[in-house]
Amino acid sequence: MLYSLTIKNDFKPLLKLAIPLILTGILQSSLNFIENIFLAHLGEHALAAGALVGWLFATLIVVLFGTFSSVNILIAHKVGAKDILGISQVLRDGFLLAILLVVPTFILFWNMAPIFLLFGQKSELVELAKLYLHGLAWGLLPKFILIVLFEFIIGLGHTRVTMICVMLSLPLYIFFSYVLIFGKFGFPQLAIAGAGWGMTAGDWLTSFALCLYVFFSKHYRSYILAAFNFNKPFHLWELMHLGLPMGFMYCIEVGFFFAMTLMMGLIGVQYLAANQITMQYLGPLMGIIFCIAQAITVRMGHEIGANQIAAAERASYAGVLLAGIFMLIVAFFYWLVPEKLIAVDFNLSDPNYAATINIAKQFLFIAAFFQNFEAIRIALFGALRGLKDTRFTLFVSIISFWCIALPVGYVLSTWLKIGGNGFWVGMVIGVLFSVVVLYRRFRWKIGMLLENIKIR
């Protein structure tokens, strides 16, 4: 199948979907970076409280995008099948799911302070974090609406629209955060609370503008009008059936990296610092691979919905190859010039950092293998997601990270005394197992679809 891939029919449509998604992710990440700069000007306590909120909010967003990605999966299949009414029904039920989830999320944000205290955080930081969270809480409804609309538009294959929306709205978020944090242009100075209220103001305005756009746009208006029809069938259960396993899977993986970070800290400060250097590259790079995986999902959904199983299979292989080649290029930087990457954080000539720099080089060397296998794993996950197979990937993630990577890493690091390298080796072993299992699952699922076509 690999030899039959073509740039025009397989790679070009995939890149057309993936590149806007990648640029959207980069733009959204830049907002968090700028927000941290604003908080740093308020002092170290505000920055530390912002880190607490950032950890919670980032985890929530990861889980939500996993859960609501079921919207683009179903819509992509409906697009391929040319089921216009079905697209509207999925969009309608996506909004219903957002309303169902926003209430418990609001309650969590409003009452997070005792949970922070339970984890041993200082009371003064928790009070600041509470102000930030209370501001963010009032923007959860428009945030959820935005996510559903983005997933709807992505499912249709119009990824450039989401990119343009984020590009145009980014200055709004920055403006409101700036003026409310520092009290500029006649606005009240709310300090850290202004960061939350600035995001909320940006969410409300962006959500309102995007709702107006899709309502009046000739491309989306018919879907929006039909979405208000509450006749059956309802897809709410199917959305949760597909989406919740993905949300849990992301949560489990985020939890694994948090646990690994804690264990690195137990080994030593240098290992924790070196691990942080490696992780700062892993996060953004994996974000790019997730965008490629999302493009694979949408592309496969369109082809499977149109009953073009062979084309869907080629799209998945093109995506896996694209992700693997990209990460292989990155791996050469890890292997050949790790000092250039480490120099972003440390002065290489400073003898005080010699031990940390040496450990970071070792981590980057092993991480190159991990990231290559991880890129293939995520691409295969995107392919299986296009086949509406999400629960299996959840179980595989649990086994790979928590039943293989973590215990193997612990044994290598403590019993065999190879330090923090053991955890990275454990991750390589775990993700390699995942790749083999997911590939076999993908081949079986594709084979079943092809067999069904022959029977018909």
Rounded (5°) CA angle 248-395-234: 55
3-state secondary structure of 185: coil
The answer to whether 200 and 57 have CB atoms below 8 angstroms apart is no
- pLDDT tens across 187-204, in order? 889 988 999 999 999 999
Q: List, in sequence order, the alpha helices (H) in 217-235.
A: 221-227
Structure tokens at 223: 């879907």
Under the banding of pLDDT at 50, 70 and 90, the label for residue 298 is very high
pLDDT at 115: 78
The answer to whether 422 and 410 have CB atoms below 8 angstroms apart is yes
Domain spans in the chain, listed from the N-terminal domain onward: 41-234, 245-455
Which amino acid belongs to residue 64?
Answer: L
pLDDT at 456: 56
- pLDDT tens across 252-268, in order? 888 888 788 778 877 88
The answer to whether 157 and 17 have CB atoms below 8 angstroms apart is yes
Which amino acid belongs to residue 169?
Answer: S
Whole-structure pTM over 0.85, yes or no? yes
pLDDT at 454: 64
